[in-house]
Amino acid sequence: MWCHKLLHLQSSLQKLMKRGYIGQALHLSNFKSLFSLSIHWCHTASKCVNCTWHQHEDHLEIQYASIVMRFDYVWLRDHCRSASCYNSKTHQRSLDTASVDLCIKPKTIRLDETTLFFTWPDGHVTRYDLDWLVKNSYEGQKQKVIQPRILWNAKLYQQAQVPSVDFQNFLKTNDELKKFLQNFLLYGIAFVENVPPTREHTEKLAERISLIRETIYGRMWYFTSDFSRGDTAYTKLALDRHTDTTYFQEPCGYNNYDRAVINTVPYDVVHRWYIAHRTLTTELRKPENELWVKLKPGKVLFIDNWRVLHGRESFTGYRQLCGCYLTRDDVLNTARLLGLRA
């Protein structure tokens, strides 16, 4: 329709030029730009044809950009970005979600170029850019590529020859920090080499990534096999595969040592638990699922406590270990700030 109108306007103006009704300020170059404008509108109009929608009883179905999206009507009203519903400076809602009728449906829906307009029963108008809907739809989110994580065993990890990161480069450049976090997200473990073997340098290294979490063991823990705490870690005994802090309100995962007495379920459930425990333990203790690393002074190992279990063999002699716990949210936030989809 726009093409026909603009072409008709161009033809009319050309006739007026021949009759001398148009001033000298209007040149032929203007007609060229006008003609190109008509082509642009034609292209935009054709894009609109690629968007179709269907109103179901409880949701709106939109097909656009090769994606079929489904939106709850309450969601569409709740996410309105108009000035009365959303503060664009604070990026917070002004609309009270609890005030939206749970049975709400739009009175009318219309499309103008690439913007959908919804008119609600109270007359309020919500507008959504189609690309915004793609970006924020469930179906669009599923197509996003998150930072990859892989299931691996000792053979796969050794074949990958994952490089360690140098301490000084780790502190000085974001590229090295990003490389470290890529490996950490991919495998759940990562190494930093050439760290001066002191508590202060280990702390400095940890703070480069995240806030250090205060626990019952303090901010930085530093221990040897003196049994200064009632914990097997403070001995020379072997430690089976486990994760830490399972006794916290936010437990990190499985731990074979810190289980309390099982007294909250009946005997038949208890037996099923032991069967499941045996299956898991058998899998964990398979040699191909173990990666043995000898830590030396200057080598720091980071472990994702939600993905990778750790342990040790018994040992003789004197051994000191320094470490800490990092807040998971802040580790992931650092990765996101560096452009990783953590």
276, 278, 280, 284: CA torsion to nearest 10: 180
- Confirm whether 7 is domain-assigned: no
Cα separation, 288 vs 282, in Å, equals 12
- 195 and 320 part of one domain: yes
- 203 and 225 part of one domain: yes
* Residue from 214, 216, 53 nearest 128 by CA: 53
- 136 and 159 part of one domain: no
- 124 and 176 part of one domain: no
- Confirm whether 21 is domain-assigned: no
Q: In this predicted structure, what is the pLDDT of residue 11?
A: 52
The domain total for the chain is 2
- Enter the tokens of residue 162: 């994952």
Q: In this predicted structure, what is the pLDDT of residue 44?
A: 32
Q: In this predicted structure, what is the pLDDT of residue 20?
A: 44
Q: Encode the chain (342 residues) as per-residue pLDDT tens digits.
A: 444 444 444 455 455 444 444 333 334 344 334 433 332 222 333 344 589 999 999 999 999 988 999 999 999 999 999 999 999 999 999 999 999 999 999 999 999 989 999 999 999 999 999 999 998 998 887 766 677 888 999 999 999 999 999 999 999 999 999 999 999 999 999 999 999 999 999 999 999 999 998 887 788 887 777 776 777 777 778 777 787 777 777 655 464 555 667 788 888 898 998 899 899 889 989 999 999 998 899 999 999 988 899 888 888 888 888 889 998 889 999 999 999 988
* Residue from 174, 263, 248, 170 nearest 214 by CA: 248
- Confirm whether 321 is domain-assigned: yes
Is pTM, for the whole model, over 0.85? no
- 113 and 218 part of one domain: no
- Confirm whether 39 is domain-assigned: no
- 233 and 271 part of one domain: yes
- 173 and 223 part of one domain: yes
- Encode burial over 152-178: b for 16+ CB neighbours within 10 A, e otherwise: beeeeeeeeeeebbebebbbeeeebbb
Cα separation, 334 vs 87, in Å, equals 27
Q: In this predicted structure, what is the pLDDT of residue 257?
A: 54
- 138 and 248 part of one domain: no
Which residues are within 8 A (CB) of 55 and not within 5 positions of it... i.e. 6 or more apart?
61, 105, 106, 109
- Confirm whether 121 is domain-assigned: yes
Tell me the residue range of the domain where 65 lies: 52-142
- Confirm whether 134 is domain-assigned: yes
Report in angstroms the alpha-carbon separations of 65 from 50, 138, 208.
7, 14, 41
Q: Which of 142, 164, 185 is the last residue of a domain?
A: 142
- 195 and 275 part of one domain: yes
- Confirm whether 190 is domain-assigned: yes
Which residues are within 8 A (CB) of 2 and not within 5 positions of it... i.e. 6 or more apart?
38, 41, 42, 45
